[in-house]
Structure 1
């Protein structure tokens, strides 16, 4: 792979990540699913990983369906591992907003996405993702089920 080919691949992956985050926040689930390989594994939700693009998208749609979300990914560390494979770590920040009963609640999280990508006939896709959280702040009384239960010690 030439230096130019490597830089083009890195830029394509950056765009893939940006499109994924926007599709997630805009709840465009068909677009979101299409960015993930059929054999994608997501170890993001706690418990058993979601295996497959459809299962991952369905789980995320269930978690975020009633939540307004804003996700940012920053400062990628991308490594091209082969002509059609790559891996990356992205600093992430997310803000979630929802109503619980009559009360507005929020979550502000910080951490990293650990990802692997594969290039196929239709371009780059996600094949693996793990989210590690460094800190999660929530409004008093916030209840997000499994997500809330995974707050690190010392989080507010």
Structure 2
């Protein structure tokens, strides 16, 4: 059983982990990004497709999807529950903006939703072991082709 102080410290460590993950992804620092996940991490981000199982597979998929995309992710309003001394769950409100070129045209996606996550404490600290992205609303630029960028919802053009 964790004391109140230990629980608060764990929550703050998980918040820091979340910030590190988002920055590593947006800055495409893939080695750091992978290190923030357990080797058996499962990610269900790709609109109902097959989940990425394993931190390495998740990174390889993201590298491919985001290769020619500039991304900006925001996560806020965390609801973190410590479920044991070494496990936790969280839900974060999210907003993302993605920018890319189609031929000579600039395009964008603006999404809103939630991250549903699980965390495990390892000898290196807290790490992500599960993540699912749900979207409440998505807008895209007129004529945007999402291709491999499967959002899970039908985009609404601006």
State the TM bucket, normalised to the shorter chain: over 0.9
**TM-score in terms of structure 1 length:** 0.96
Is the CA contact (8 Å cut-off) linking 2:118 and 2:130 kept in structure 1? yes
Write out aligned runs for 1:1-150 (5 A): 1-46=2-47, 47-148=49-150, 150=152
**TM-score in terms of structure 2 length:** 0.95
5+ unaligned residues in a row in structure 2: which ranges?
Answer: none
Structure 2: distance between partners of 1:16 and 1:139 = 32
How far did 1:99 drift? 0.5
User: In structure 1, the residue corresponding to 2:59 is in which secondary structure?
Assistant: helix
Q: Which runs of 4+ in 1 moved over 2 A?
A: 146-153
5+ unaligned residues in a row in structure 1: which ranges?
Answer: none
**CA distance 1:39–1:149, shift in 2 (3 Å):** closer
- Deviations for 1:61-89, whole angstroms, at most 9, x for unmatched residues? 11111100100001000000000000000
Is the CA contact (8 Å cut-off) linking 2:65 and 2:148 kept in structure 1? no
Instruction: Count residues in correspondence.
Output: 155
Is the CA contact (8 Å cut-off) linking 2:46 and 2:150 kept in structure 1? no
User: In structure 2, the residue corresponding to 1:147 is in which secondary structure?
Assistant: coil
